[in-house]
Each structure stands twice: as C-alpha cells, then as structure tokens.
Structure 1
C-alpha cells in the first residue's frame, strides 16, 4: 500500500486506494458476475410467469391454445428485455470506460496540482526576493532624486548667473557700440573740419564776388569796343564811380585760385552724395498714399493655381506674383493694366512669399519645397537656392543692407543667409512654427502659431522681447520708418505696435472682417497712414492707423478668400490676389 504524500488529505488517499483495489478485484469476476445477474433475472422472470399464468396442481388443465398464446407473448417480452438488458450492459460498459478515463485525468490533474504547488512555492520565494530588490531600488531612487534636486537647484542658480552675464554682455556690447559710434562721430567731425573751413572761405569769397557789378561780366566775356581816350575815361568814371575803393581789382578781375578750388570742392561733394544699391527714382518716395476706391483692372487667371503672394517693385512699375503653380510672374503696369513681362521658374513647389531688394534688381521667394530662391532681374536667371530648412519656408526677406537674407519656416527655425556665398551664417531656434518675419537692421521680428510675436537680436540670436496676441499670427509688416509693426491674427484683429515702446497703439477691427487663412497678409500703406487686408469673403478692408477707424471696405470681383495685398510705393495702386487665381488692380478713381 502506498503512503500518502506530504500535504495531501488522508481521506482522499484512502478512497483512492479502495478504488484501485476494487478495480483490481472486480476485473477478474466481472464476466461471472454479469452472467450470474442475467441468470437471476431470468429465473425471476420465469418464476413470475409461472405464478401468473400456469395453473396450480389443483386447478383444471389449461387450454392448449391459451398456453401457446401466452408463450408467444412472453417470448416477445423476453426478447425486448434481452434487448434492453444489452443496451443497459453497453451503457454500463461505456460508463465504466468513461470512469476509467476520468480517473486517469484526475490522476494527471493531481500530479499537475502537485507541480503547480511546487512552482507556487518557488514563485513565492522569487516574489520575496523581488520585493527585497524593489526596496533597495526605492532607496537608491530616493538617493538619486535627492542628487537630482540638488543638481537642478545648482542648474537654476548657474542659469540665472548665465542670464545675468548675458545681460551684462549685451550691455557691454551696446556700450561698446555706443563708444564706437561716438568715436566715429568724433572722427567724422575731425575729418569734416577742413571741409567746413573751405565752406567758410567759400562763403567769404562769394560775399566778395557779390559786391562786383554784373556789368563787368559783359566786359570780361564780350569783345571790348575800341573807344577814344576821352570816351573811355568818361565811361570808366561813369561805371565805377560808386566802387572807387575796389576799382583797380574790379577792372582787371584777376583769377582767384582759392575761389575756383572752393567751387570745385562744392560740386565734387554734391556729385558724390548718392547711395549705392538704392533706387533713387522719385517714384520710390510717397508723401501721401491714396486710398483705393474701385477696381481699375481685373485679371481672372493670374496663375494656374491659387495665388499666395504679391509684391510691387521699388519703382512701382513692376508687380510680382507667386502661386501654387510653382511660378513667379512679373507684370508691367501699362495704362492701368497688367501685362506679363517674364516668368521666373525653378521652384519645385508652390511659392509662399516674395520680396524685392531696395534696388529692384533682385527678387527673393520662399517655397513649400523647404527652400528660398534668389533671382537676378537683369537676366531673370536663378542665382542661388537657399536650402537647409526641414519644412516649408513661410517667409523670406532681405535684411536692411541687402547683403543678407532671413528665412522663417514651419520647422521652428529662423536662418540668416550670406547671399554672396549662399550659405547659412546663423540659425535661431523657435518655440513654435513661424508664419512671417520682418527685418530692421539688427532686429528680426517673427510671428508664430502659438499666438505670439517675438523680437530677436540677429547679432546674438537672443530674444529681446515678446508680444502676446489672441490668435495665430498670419502676417507681419513694418512701416518705412521702422518704428511701427502691423500684425494680423486668426482672431480677426489687426494690431499696430510702436516698436520704440513695445506698446499697442491701435487695434483695428471691422464688422464682417474675417481672416481667411493661416497665411493672410496685411500691409501698411507706403506712408504708414493706412493698413489694408483682405477678408475671407473677398472684401478689401482699409483702416486709418492714426485714428483706428475703418476708412473703407471695397467689394470687387473676388469670390473667395483674399490671400495677399500689395501697395505700390508711389501710393497710386493696390493689388489684391485670392485663392481662385484672381488679381485685382485698385486705384482711387
């Protein structure tokens, strides 16, 4: 007999042993028991039949026919019982077989249970070990957290020191710039001192010359008639009598080297007072901008797709447009009509922005293909491709002195480019996507999708100020004096900001105005007196920037959102472009 294993119930063990003994002993006598049970059943059936149907010894002899019928009937019943008995026997056999199978499964399950209990004990031990390890890791983590907190505090203190040093460095740089500027002014003063002396001498000489009678010029430049000595004496006395003290010098008019040299210096000084790279055409300067009143000319299909950008040249004679058809088109304004001059190709995707340099000889355009391109307008050839951004370039502008360009992109960077080398010289990381930029000497101003306008010093790539708005910034513009900034945002509001004080001067609103896209452009008039922008419903709005009042709202042929507006520097024309490829030329009459 097997002994019960450790940890098992003794009752179950005894039952299992009895079941095994019963199976071993019953196996040898199962057929005999089955046959014996059948015999007993048959005997009971026969005895029952006799008791019911056979007459007793004292009774009369039965009818033979009845006996035959009874035998036939009982034979049929006996056959049915045999069949039922066989079916029951088969069922008993099947159940016995199932029982054996279940006993085997139970034994396997018992063995599996023992294995699982052993594994459970192992896992309990592993759990205890892991809990101990977890406690150690928590202690180590707490130590590391304390070290991290101390390092973070040290980092903050060092960062504050760094900011202070940067501020001090900026102040030192500014003081050095001021010192150098003062030194330059002193040097210019010393260099111009001889010129001032010459000018003083020239003024004295002019004063002397102004005393000479104009009639002497006729004697100098015209042939002298031959007179008699008496007539000559009489004429000479008549003419020069009031100027007797200067008579001898006036008559001879000797050459004055210092006087002639002063005139030469004056003319040379005036001849040299020109600005290299600046178009001196009088059309560049606008005294008073004229508010547009009607559409003078409408161009239904300016491009093969949506028109995204428009810009007048500095002389107000050439108009450039850029669209999603990857082209920049140049238009000539003749008799109040737009005529195609040239198409600049080379972009691999739609054009997002256009900018002329002050001379009007170069054009810079940003593109959806992550680049900006520079064309020469003398031969309309592509000069440089400025590549380096990882997302679309939303703005490309010339810096104030035109040797560098600045680009802003959706990759959250601003890059400054040396146009002579077509190389990036500096990059500014931004906290948000850039929608537009403007430049003013060493200042770069950027508008962002996080509803802020940021001011950057391009020399140190440091942020100098930040202006919060109430919506995504779609465009920026700066007036000609570089003192006021115009912003447009998705909250349907335009703001005029004074850059000298970084304060909002005017907020421009209008009932019905709705900013149509994330790249809708608003602009100043050339004299800075007005601001213009297009609405989502195709209406052109113009405000007075001094009073903040709506000057006019113009309904033209636009049937879709106006993307961009450009005001000619002469103040005579305004051009608006929209999503449906339409360009309108507006005038005041």
Structure 2
C-alpha cells in the first residue's frame, strides 16, 4: 500500500467518525429521553394491567358478595380514583409520546437534508481531488519543460555569444572592404567620367563633320541640272517607295515630322533649312543616305511563324531567352513552359512546375541559364533551364507577386507585389535582405543595369518610382495619368516605355526623367492591369497588345507602323526576340503566336 493511499484511508475514517459524532451528538439527549419514556410507558402499561385485573376481581367480588361492607366500598372508591389518575397520567404520557414522535420525525428530516448536503460535498471533494491530481501532473510536466528550456537557453546564449563575436569580426572586415570598395568605385567613376568626356568630344566632332558633309552634299544636289531629278508633276508616279522604319511610305507621305525624324537620326542641326528645301521639292533624302544614317530599321514581323496552345487556360506572360531561340510562357494553369522556336516544335521543350497559383511574369537572367517566375501564391521561384529543376522558392510577400528581375545577377533578385512592397532577395542565403515600402501595389519593375543600382517600379497609384539601392534614397516619382500596367527599358537604359491604363503608352527619357512621347490609337485598348509592352532589340520600335486581339507596333518617332492580327481575344503580353526580328505574344485565348518578317 502506498503512502498516499494510507493517508487517504485515514482521512476517510476520520471523516466517518466526525460525521457519526455530529449526527449522534445533537440527538443523544432526545434518544435517551425517548428510551426512558418508552420504559415508563411499558411500566405504566404493566401497572394498568394489574389494576385492571384487581378492578375486575373487586367487581366480581362485589357482584357475588352483595352490597359489601363500607370498607370494601371505600377501597373500591380509592382504587377507582387511583385508576382515574393513572389513566390521566397515561393520557399525558401518550401526548408527550406523540410530541416526541413528531420531534423525531422533524429531526430525521433534518438528518436526511444533512446527508444530502454531505453527499454533495463529498462529490465536490472528489472532483476537486481529481482536478488537484491533474494539476499536480501538469505542474510536474511544466517543471520538466522549464528545466529543458533552461538548458536550451544556456546553450543558445553560448551560441549567441560565439556568433556575436564572429559577427563583430565579420563586421570589421566588411567595413574595411566597404571602404576599399568605395575608393575603387570613386576611382572607377573618375575614369568613366574621363572616358565619357573623351567619347562626347569625339562624338561631337564626328557629328559636326557628318553635318557639314551632308550640307555640302545637299547643296551640290541642288546645284545639279533639273533633268537629273524627276519633275514635281510626275514625282508620285515615277519615284520609288521610301522605306522608313520598315514600312512602305511614298514621297507624298513624307511630312514635317518624318523629315524631323530623319534629320535627328542623321545628326543635322539646321532642321528649318532642311525642311524648307525638302517641302519646296528642291531635294529628297535618298534611300541610301537614310539607310546609312540608321534611321531605317528592320522590317516589321508581319507573318505568323508559329501558332500553338501554350497553356490549359489564360496565358499571362511571355519572354524570349537572351541566348537561344526559345520562348518561356506562364499561365493561369500554374506552369511555366519552354518552347523551342528554332525547331518549330509545338510541343513544350520543358514544363516547370512548383507554383500553387497562376504565373504572372517570367524572366531570364542575362546568360539564359536561369528563369525567374512570379505567382499569385505570394511567391517567386527560380528554375535552371539546363535540367528544368526548381532551385529557389522566395516567399515572404503577403500579396500576389506581379514582377521580378535579377539585380547583381546571379546572386540577387528584386520582386514587386500587391502588398505594396518591393523585396530584395539574396539567392545564396535564400532570404529577404531588404524591403522597400512603396505605399501602392506594384504591377511591374525593371532594373537599369546588371548591377541593379537603380530599380524602377510602376504602381497602381499612377506613379513610377525610382530606387537607388546603393544610397537607399528614392528619386523623384513620375506621375502618370492612370495606373501603370508594365515597364520596359531600351538596351542602352536611356529610355523607358510605360503602358498606362488610359490606353496610352508613354516614352520617358531617363536622363531628363520626363515623358517625351505618347503612343495611342483610336482602336488601341489596354487589355488588363498587367498588360505588357516591349521594346525591340535596337530600341526603335514599341509593341503592345490590345483588347481587340491586335498587336500595335509604333516607331519611337511616333508613327504607327503596322497592326498584327492573329489573336481572337485580348492580348496580355508581347516580347521581342533579342537576336532575331521576331515577336512573341500570348493572350486570354491560351494561344501563343510567333510573328516573323520572313
């Protein structure tokens, strides 16, 4: 028997004795008195019986003996009187017995009530004892956990001290490296500034020489006899078509804006003089001169090279590989697919999975070895193109991630989300190293160079924001007339196009931070909040899909050069090939179309 069981037995015996004492102590006198009354009643009954017998004997004697003597009469009277008193006493005793019986009944009821109260208290005591045992067990477990936590805390304190020492050492080394890096950057900037000054001087000299030479050539052309050029009367019928920006334009189609564009492209400063002589019919810029100046670009891709179903439902994103003739697409079916355009294959080269929601954007690094995709599941992912494996998953946003780009590739990535933040990720530690709070959901972003020194983001609140990650300072915002759906940079990073929800595309000069041109058309409508526009490889043409299923291509000088048909529903995204004159597009109809110029 355990010690605890022995203690509880003794306690129960003690409680029983205490209960017996309490129940008997209050009624002890009553019980004794009741017993005495019962004995007295029994004695009186016996005496009454004797008297009754004597009375009967006397009555029988009287009846048999005649009238009797006077003594016998007196004795009978005495006995009758005594019998009467005994009967009165008996009545009184019966009355007292009734009262005592009623008192006993009342006391029994009280005893029963006390028993009920006692049973309730015993039941409550049992419950409290059960709770007490449970709490004792919990206390024991908590004591054990506390001891383990103390040991773990001591271990973590030791580790923290060691890591703090290592961190202090690394911080000192980092400061030294940062100082050295700052010195090297300053030296590099000084050298670049000198090189830029020299290059500007050389360019100005070349432009002056070319301008002077062209003026001399034009003056010589004016002095030639009139029979060497067609007359104004038959110019429209006999002169060859002029190809400007890849589109066919006749001589009558040359207007002042065309002339200004040609003059700007070939570096002529005296525009008014040139325009006056051009409109007077004295001279026309020759096809060879325009080609040599670089004003005439590639022909527009007008033929459908390939057409295939890219995804199971709506397609959201498309991007060309920078090194291969390959296209990556992303759709609402949660997959990124790679398509080999060089082999004209309508079967995907690879299907990259891992996302748990629709893909919003895709992008390659500069080597084409990694592909970066963003998703509605609040994350971004990095796959390797060679083996199609998922390498990194970047989670930390609280809203869908709309865009992502490499910065300081291949070690860092910046993402923009609907949670109104931009996050910079270190792919070596797969951790967010910096969060920039924009105050508005980000629909697209670009980086200005491979070092990612400046991040440009377009937002729902109509603003383009500039972030310098070297100084952690934000440049002045540029306000657009409506919310921004996409951004794209020219190859030289001097110009930025911005597609805006008011159905226009803005061209910004980043050297002036201002809008220099607007592209629009009466039939052109931005299809959705993430519609993507794109520069071509030489930065002379801009393409964007429309809600009517057409793709509009403008020249940077403002001309709408052509409209491509092929989609039956709205076009969500377009992308120019960096190495070929080809254009890829995807839309709501699940279809991907590749356009080419041949």
State the TM-score, normalized to the length of structure 1.
Answer: 0.51
Secondary structure in structure 1 of the residue aligned to 2:348: strand
1:306 pairs with 2:314: yes
- TM-fit CA distance, 1:400: 4.8
- Counterpart of 1:503 (choices 514, 520, 526) is 514
> What is the aligned partner in structure 2 of residue 349 from structure 1?
357
CA deviation string 1:522-551 (max 9, x = no partner): 010011000000000100000001x11111
> What is the aligned partner in structure 2 of residue 436 from structure 1?
444
> Following the alignment from structure 1 to structure 2, what is the Cα–Cα distance between the partners of residues 490 and 535?
11
Secondary structure in structure 2 of the residue aligned to 1:394: strand
1:281-300 equivalent positions in 2, closer than 5 A: 289-299=298-308
> What is the aligned partner in structure 2 of residue 553 from structure 1?
563
- Counterpart of 1:574 (choices 556, 562, 583) is 583
> What is the aligned partner in structure 1 of residue 593 from structure 2?
584
- TM-fit CA distance, 1:399: 1.4
- TM-fit CA distance, 1:490: 0.6
1:478 pairs with 2:489: yes
- TM-fit CA distance, 1:345: 0.6
> What is the aligned partner in structure 1 of residue 97 from structure 2?
none
1:351-390 equivalent positions in 2, closer than 5 A: 351-390=359-398
1:524-539 equivalent positions in 2, closer than 5 A: 524-539=535-550
1:14-33 equivalent positions in 2, closer than 5 A: none
> What is the aligned partner in structure 1 of residue 414 from structure 2?
406
Contact kept? 1:306, 1:581, Cα under 8 Å: yes
> Following the alignment from structure 1 to structure 2, what is the Cα–Cα distance between the partners of residues 582 and 538?
11
Specify whether residues 432 and 176 from structure 1 end up closer, same or farther in structure 2 by C-alpha distance, changes over 3 A only. Answer: farther
> Following the alignment from structure 1 to structure 2, what is the Cα–Cα distance between the partners of residues 525 and 378?
26
1:207-226 equivalent positions in 2, closer than 5 A: none
- TM-fit CA distance, 1:178: 8.2
1:176-191 equivalent positions in 2, closer than 5 A: 180-184=184-188
> Following the alignment from structure 1 to structure 2, what is the Cα–Cα distance between the partners of residues 184 and 348?
45
- Counterpart of 2:533 (choices 519, 522, 541) is 522
Specify whether residues 566 and 455 from structure 1 end up closer, same or farther in structure 2 by C-alpha distance, changes over 3 A only. Answer: same
- Counterpart of 1:318 (choices 316, 320, 326) is 326
Specify whether residues 181 and 334 from structure 1 end up closer, same or farther in structure 2 by C-alpha distance, changes over 3 A only. Answer: closer
- TM-fit CA distance, 1:454: 0.8
> Following the alignment from structure 1 to structure 2, what is the Cα–Cα distance between the partners of residues 321 and 431?
30
Contact kept? 1:416, 1:426, Cα under 8 Å: yes
Secondary structure in structure 2 of the residue aligned to 1:480: coil
Specify whether residues 371 and 291 from structure 1 end up closer, same or farther in structure 2 by C-alpha distance, changes over 3 A only. Answer: same
- Counterpart of 1:396 (choices 394, 404, 414) is 404
Return 5+ residue gaps in structure 2 as ranges. 1-178, 193-295
> What is the aligned partner in structure 2 of residue 565 from structure 1?
574
State the TM-score, normalized to the length of structure 2.
Answer: 0.51
> Following the alignment from structure 1 to structure 2, what is the Cα–Cα distance between the partners of residues 422 and 461?
21
> Following the alignment from structure 2 to structure 1, what is the Cα–Cα distance between the partners of residues 490 and 180?
29
Contact kept? 2:326, 2:342, Cα under 8 Å: no
> Following the alignment from structure 2 to structure 1, what is the Cα–Cα distance between the partners of residues 186 and 528?
48
> Following the alignment from structure 1 to structure 2, what is the Cα–Cα distance between the partners of residues 290 and 415?
40
Contact kept? 1:408, 1:415, Cα under 8 Å: yes
Superposed CA RMSD: 2.3
> Following the alignment from structure 2 to structure 1, what is the Cα–Cα distance between the partners of residues 362 and 535?
16
Specify whether residues 587 and 322 from structure 1 end up closer, same or farther in structure 2 by C-alpha distance, changes over 3 A only. Answer: same
> Following the alignment from structure 2 to structure 1, what is the Cα–Cα distance between the partners of residues 394 and 533?
26
1:61-72 equivalent positions in 2, closer than 5 A: none
> Following the alignment from structure 2 to structure 1, what is the Cα–Cα distance between the partners of residues 512 and 191?
32
1:446 pairs with 2:457: yes
Specify whether residues 356 and 290 from structure 1 end up closer, same or farther in structure 2 by C-alpha distance, changes over 3 A only. Answer: farther
Return 5+ residue gaps in structure 1 as ranges. 1-174, 189-286
Contact kept? 1:289, 1:571, Cα under 8 Å: no
> Following the alignment from structure 1 to structure 2, what is the Cα–Cα distance between the partners of residues 330 and 484?
29
> Following the alignment from structure 2 to structure 1, what is the Cα–Cα distance between the partners of residues 546 and 190?
53
1:13-92 equivalent positions in 2, closer than 5 A: none
> What is the aligned partner in structure 1 of residue 555 from structure 2?
544
> Following the alignment from structure 1 to structure 2, what is the Cα–Cα distance between the partners of residues 442 and 555?
39
> Following the alignment from structure 1 to structure 2, what is the Cα–Cα distance between the partners of residues 187 and 320?
40
- TM-fit CA distance, 1:452: 1.0
CA deviation string 1:424-456 (max 9, x = no partner): 110000111111000123101010111111111
Name the structure, 1 or 2, with higher relative contact order (CA <8 Å, separation 6+).
1
> Following the alignment from structure 1 to structure 2, what is the Cα–Cα distance between the partners of residues 401 and 421?
14
> Following the alignment from structure 2 to structure 1, what is the Cα–Cα distance between the partners of residues 318 and 191?
44
**Paired positions, count:** 315
